[in-house]
Amino acid sequence: MKTLKKTSPKKLSIATRSIHGDNLGAFTGPVATPVYQTSTYRFSDSRDAVRYAKGDPSVYVYTRYHNPTTTEVEKKIALLYGAESSALFSSGMAAITTAVLSFCKQGSEIVSTPALYGGTYRFFRDTLPEFGINVRYVGSDSLDDLPYMVTNRTRLVYLESPTNPTLGLVDVRNLVARTRRLEKEFGRKIVIMMDNTFATILNQDPFALGVDIVVESSTKYLSGHADIMGGVLVGSRALIKKARDRAKHFGGCADPFASYLLDRSLKTFELRVVRQRENALKLARALEKHPKITRVLYPGLTSHPQHALAKKQMKGYGAMVTAEVRGGVKAAVKVCDSLRVAVNAMSLGGVETLVSIPVYSSHINMDAGELARHGVTAGMIRISVGVEGIDDLVADFRQALKKA
């Protein structure tokens, strides 16, 4: 038995950390985190403003900078990742854009793996060049090319694994080791940033793989009920401070009530994600056998081309499954429109199973070349598996596939 008195919260299970944070043992106060629904704070005297400016963390001045409800959740998420610090944002994209524009400036270069969430990809493609920041792509199957991509202008290596929507994996340890060698060669630090939204800390620990900073859209698994928007950065105190300073200007701060809902949802984080991944494996296996399905992409299937890598670098395989229907987009539409339990809606990570067609959603307006580069085909249906009864889900997909 653990003697909890002496146990550091970091040593407790993720389930326990996501409920209690570091509030262990005797402490008085509310069990649920109070919502500080305020934009500003009373000073005890005028010198509080000076105390804040000198870095006193006990002085709150303005909710765009910080808020006690949000701070509580930030502490908890840093603890879940075993990291020094974390910062919450109004959305995943606010976290991503703020971080990228904190670590890069005009003339900087980014090296990224190409299969990215559509919003991130479009930010890299359409917005960053207007700010003089160039992005180069290194295929996850051609990491040998990294030395040709990294230059003395490279400030950031960016990756997502598993990728959206093809559930491909990047060999993270390999990418990190190669980047560190190039860092030495160029004599400068390159920040390695990873989007861990699909896996979450329950299924994958990017810091154990050597990554510097993690982003998650907390709209997804962390909150898990399709009712809030949010984003989170996790990493060292120094990197998070850099992003936090930028965030004060960009203004994408978390709303206190959204922070409260996120904290409430974190209490069932482990329960939800464990059930979701169990359902995902069962659904993936059932779909794989179906005659109208040509391919099922799920890292937990032995048929997944990178299953061995998934076993090595992931703690669980997550709950995102992509199935390719025979008959292209017409058949995919028929299936999605015939489902009765699973919901035809964008987004992912909630307790309800959601489906979407990548060529109609995350990858719309991409030309054939871009789609091919992302490995996206017209008949793909992306499934975010929820916590419903698995027999109901399997039966639902079977009846919808019958109509395709």
Ligand X SMILES: Cc1ncc(COP(=O)(O)O)c(C=O)c1O
Where does this chain bind ligand X (CB under 6 A)?
A: 91-93, 117, 119, 164, 195, 197-198, 217, 219, 229, 231, 347
Contacts of residue 95, Cβ cutoff 8 Å, sequence gap at least 6: 87, 89, 215, 216, 217, 231, 232, 233, 243, 252
CA–CA gap between residue 387 and residue 393 (Å, rounded): 10
Helical (H) or strand (E) element with 297: strand 293-297
CA–CA gap between residue 217 and residue 233 (Å, rounded): 9
Q: At closest approach, how far in Å is the CB of 320 from ligand X?
A: 9
Q: At closest approach, how far in Å is the CB of 195 from ligand X?
A: 5
- Residue with Cβ nearer ligand X (91 or 140): 91
Q: At closest approach, how far in Å is the CB of 182 from ligand X?
A: 26
- Residue with Cβ nearer ligand X (69 or 218): 218
Q: At closest approach, how far in Å is the CB of 78 from ligand X?
A: 19
3-class secondary structure, 361:
coil
In this structure, the dihedral spanned by the alpha carbons of residues 62, 63, 69 and 72, taken in order and rounded to 10 degrees, is -80
What backbone torsions phi and psi does residue 106 show, to the nearest 5 degrees?
-50, 130
- Residue with Cβ nearer ligand X (255 or 396): 255
- Residue with Cβ nearer ligand X (219 or 279): 219
- Residue with Cβ nearer ligand X (265 or 400): 265
In this structure, how many other beta carbons lie within 10 angstroms of the beta carbon of residue 352? 16
Q: At closest approach, how far in Å is the CB of 160 from ligand X?
A: 6
Q: At closest approach, how far in Å is the CB of 231 from ligand X?
A: 5
- Residue with Cβ nearer ligand X (204 or 219): 219
CA–CA gap between residue 125 and residue 99 (Å, rounded): 17
Residue nearest to ligand X (CB): 92
- H runs (alpha helix) in 21-150: 48-53, 68-81, 92-103, 118-122, 146-149
- Residue with Cβ nearer ligand X (12 or 191): 191
Q: Residues 104-140, buried b or exposed e (16+ Cβ, 10 A)?
A: beeebbbbbbbbbbbbbbebbeeebeeeebbbbbbeb
Q: At closest approach, how far in Å is the CB of 65 from ligand X?
A: 21
Strands of the sheet containing 231-235, edge to edge, are: 85-89, 231-235, 213-217, 191-195, 154-160, 109-112, 134-137
Token duo for residue 278 = 């169990």
Q: At closest approach, how far in Å is the CB of 95 from ligand X?
A: 8
- Residue with Cβ nearer ligand X (221 or 260): 221
